[in-house]
Structure 1
Amino acid sequence: MLDLVIDARPAALSPGFAVRRILPYRLRRMLGPFIFMDHAGPVHMAPEQLSALDVLPHPHIGLSTVSYLFGGQVTHRDSLGVQQIIRPGEVNWMTAGSGIAHSERFEDPATLAGGALEMLQTWVALPEADEECAPSFTNYQTHKLPVFTEPGVWMRLIAGNAFGLHNEVRTHSPLFYLHVVLQPGARFGLPQGYPERGAYVAKGLVEVSGHTYGPGQLLVFTPGIDPVLVAREASTLMLLGGEPLGERFIWWNFVSSKRERIEQAKADWQAGRIILPPNDNKEFVPLPQDKTRPAGSGSPPPQALS
C-alpha cells in the first residue's frame, strides 16, 4: 500500500531560516508534477530578529512555486513588479517559465501574528510545452479556495481537482493539492483518478494499515490502491500528487527537461539577464558553486532556495 515513507531532512532557506525538506529525495525525485517541498516553522522569535529570515532575490525557470501559510505573513516581490503579502490560507502561485526572480521578506511585525510563522512551499514542474512560457504571478485569497467540512474533517482545495471540488487556481497539468485537518478518530481517503498520490503529515499522528506516522513524514502510496488514513490525534495533512511529467533535472532553483537549459539559466543569472525585482534590487543571491558533481546532473547543490 505504501511505496515509500520520506522523512523530512534539515535544510536552510537563508542563514537564519531552517526548514524541513521533503522533496526532492534520492529515492523519489517527484510526486506527480511536484518536484520540491519544504516545511518551514513554526518560527518563534522577537520582531527585531525578523530580517534574519529574509530570502533575498533569486531566480527560477521551468516551474511554478506555490506558497501556503499556516501562520504569519510573507511579502513577495518579483521581476514583474509584483508586491504581494500572503496570509494564512491564501495561495501565491508564481509561474517562472522562461525566467523570473523573486524575494520573500519577513519585514512586518504581523509576520508573527498569532505567535508563529509557519509555511509550506512546493514547486510544480511544467510540461515541456510550457517550460518557456511567460512568467506570471497570482495571489488567490481564501474566498476563492473551496472548503469542505463534515464531522471530524475540514478540507481546503489549494489547487487542482479533488473530491468533486475545483477552483480558479491556474495549473498546467492534472494535479491535486489539499490542506486537510482531521479530529481524533476521523477517517479520510485520497482523491481518485491520479496515478501518483501522497500525504504529508504536518502535525499529529495518522494510522495507515496498522502503522502510525507523524510530523515530517511524506507517505507515498502505491498506484491503484485506495488507503484509509485514520487520525490518532488532531492532525494536519497536505495531500498532493497528479500525473507524472517525465524526467526533470533540478539544480539550485532551476528545473528543466533539458540539461543544457539548466546551464543556460546559470549563465543568464550570472550575466544579469534575469532581472531583479524592481522594488527589491539592492541585493541578491549569487549563483552557488557546486563542487561535488557535474553541473546539470539532476541534483541540487547543498542549499536550494524557495
Structure 2
Amino acid sequence: MLDIVIQAREANIVPGFAVRRILPYQLRRMVGPFIFMDHAGPVNISSKEVPDLDVLPHPHIGLSTVSYLLSGNVTHRDGLGIEQVIKPGEVNWMTAGKGISHSERFEDPAMLADGALELMQTWVALPERDEEANPSFMNYKAEELPVFTEKGIWMRLIAGEAYGLSSKVQTSSPLFYVHVVLDKNTRFGLPVGHSERGVYVVKGKVEVNGVSYARGQLLVFSVGVDPVITAKEASTLMMLGGEHLGKRHIWWNFVSSRKERIEQAKEDWKQGRIILPPNDNHEFIPLPEDQYRPGTEPPPNTLS
C-alpha cells in the first residue's frame, strides 16, 4: 500500500532558521512532478533576529517554485521586477524556466512572534519542452482557489485537479496540490486519476491501515491503491502528486533533465548573467560549489 514513508529532516536555510526538509529524499527524489518540499515553522523568534532570516537573492532554472502560507507573510522580489507580499491561503507560483533570481524577506517583525509564521515551499519540475521557457510569476488570492467543506472536512485545492475540482493556477503538467484540515475521527480518501500521490502530515496524527503517522511524515502511495486516511486527532495535511516527468537532476537551486544545463547555470550565476531583482540587488547568495566535494549536491539556500 505504501511505497515509502519519508521522515522530514532538519535543514538550515540561513543560520538560526531551520526547516523540515521532505523532498528530495535519497530513496525517493520526486512525487509526480514535485521535486522539492520544505515545511517552515511555526517560527517563534524575537524581532531582533528578523534580518538574519532573510533569504537573499538566489537563482533557479528548470522548475516552478510554489509558495503557500499557513500563517504570516513573506515579501517576494524577483528578476522580473515583481514585488509581492504573500499572505495565508495565497499562492506565489514562479516559473524559472531558463533562469530567474528572487529573494524572500521577512519584513514584519511582529509576524514572527508567537509562532505566527508557517509556510510550505515546493518546487515543481517542468516538462522538457518548458525547461527553457521565459520566466514568469503569478500571485493567486485565496478567494480565487476552490474550497470544499463537509462535516469534519475543510479543503482548498491549491493547484491542479482533484476531487472533481479544478484550480485556476496555471501549471505545465498534470498534478494536484491540496490543503486539507480534518476533525478528529474524520475519514478521507486520496484523489484518484493520478499515478503518484503523497500525503504530508503538517499537524496532528492520522491512521492508514491500522498504522499511525504523525507530524513531519510524508506517506507515498503505490499506483492503483486507494487508502482511507483517518484523523486520530485534529489534523492538517498537504496532499500532492501527479504524473512523473522522467529523471531530473538537481544541484543547489537548479533542476534540469540535462546535467550539462546545470553546469551552464552555475557559470551563468557566477558571471552575473542571471539578473538580480532590481529592487533587491545589493547582495546575493554566491554559488556554493567550492564548499562541496565533486559529485555532491549542496543543499538549497532557499525557501522556494
TM-score range, shorter chain: over 0.9
Equivalent residues of 2:41, 2:115 under 8 A apart: no
The residue type paired with residue 267 of structure 1 is: E
Unaligned runs of 5+ in 1: none
Secondary structure of the corresponding residue to residue 238 of structure 2: strand
Q: Quick check: 1:200 aligned with 2:197? A: no
Query: What's the CA shift for 1:15?
Result: 1.6
Q: Quick check: 1:277 aligned with 2:274? A: no
* 2:70 matched residue in structure 1: 70
Q: TM-score under structure 1 normalisation? A: 0.96
Equivalent residues of 1:72, 1:113 under 8 A apart: no
CA deviation string 1:36-75 (max 9, x = no partner)? 0000011011223211210000000000000011111000
Instruction: Tell me how large the CA RMSD over aligned residues is.
Output: 1.3
Equivalent residues of 1:11, 1:303 under 8 A apart: no
* 1:215 matched residue in structure 2: 215
* 1:233 matched residue in structure 2: 233
> Number of matched residues?
303
Q: Quick check: 1:288 aligned with 2:282? A: no
The residue type paired with residue 233 of structure 1 is: E
Q: Decide which of 292, 297, 300 is 2:297's aligned counterpart.
A: 300
* 1:51 matched residue in structure 2: 51
Query: What's the CA shift for 1:301?
Result: 1.0
Equivalent residues of 2:47, 2:113 under 8 A apart: no
Unaligned runs of 5+ in 2: none
* 2:265 matched residue in structure 1: 265
Superposition pairs of residues 182-201 of structure 1, within 5 angstroms: 182-201=182-201
Percent of matched pairs sharing the same residue: 70
Q: Quick check: 1:89 aligned with 2:86? A: no
Partners of 1:271 and 1:278 in 2: CA distance: 17
Partners of 2:291 and 2:81 in 1: CA distance: 34
Partners of 1:61 and 1:111 in 2: CA distance: 31
Partners of 1:128 and 1:242 in 2: CA distance: 16
The residue type paired with residue 247 of structure 1 is: K
The residue type paired with residue 243 of structure 2 is: E
Q: Structure 1 residues 118, 55: CA separation in 2 closer, same or farther (over 3 Å shift)? A: same
CA deviation string 1:151-184 (max 9, x = no partner)? 0000000000000111210000000000000000
Equivalent residues of 2:19, 2:41 under 8 A apart: yes
Q: Structure 1 residues 229, 13: CA separation in 2 closer, same or farther (over 3 Å shift)? A: same
* 1:168 matched residue in structure 2: 168
Secondary structure of the corresponding residue to residue 289 of structure 2: coil
Query: What's the CA shift for 1:12?
Result: 1.3
Greater shift, 218-227 or 102-111, is seen at: 102-111
Query: What's the CA shift for 1:286?
Result: 0.2
The residue type paired with residue 172 of structure 2 is: H
Query: What's the CA shift for 1:254?
Result: 0.1
Equivalent residues of 1:73, 1:112 under 8 A apart: no
The residue type paired with residue 27 of structure 1 is: L
* 2:245 matched residue in structure 1: 245
Partners of 2:244 and 2:292 in 1: CA distance: 28
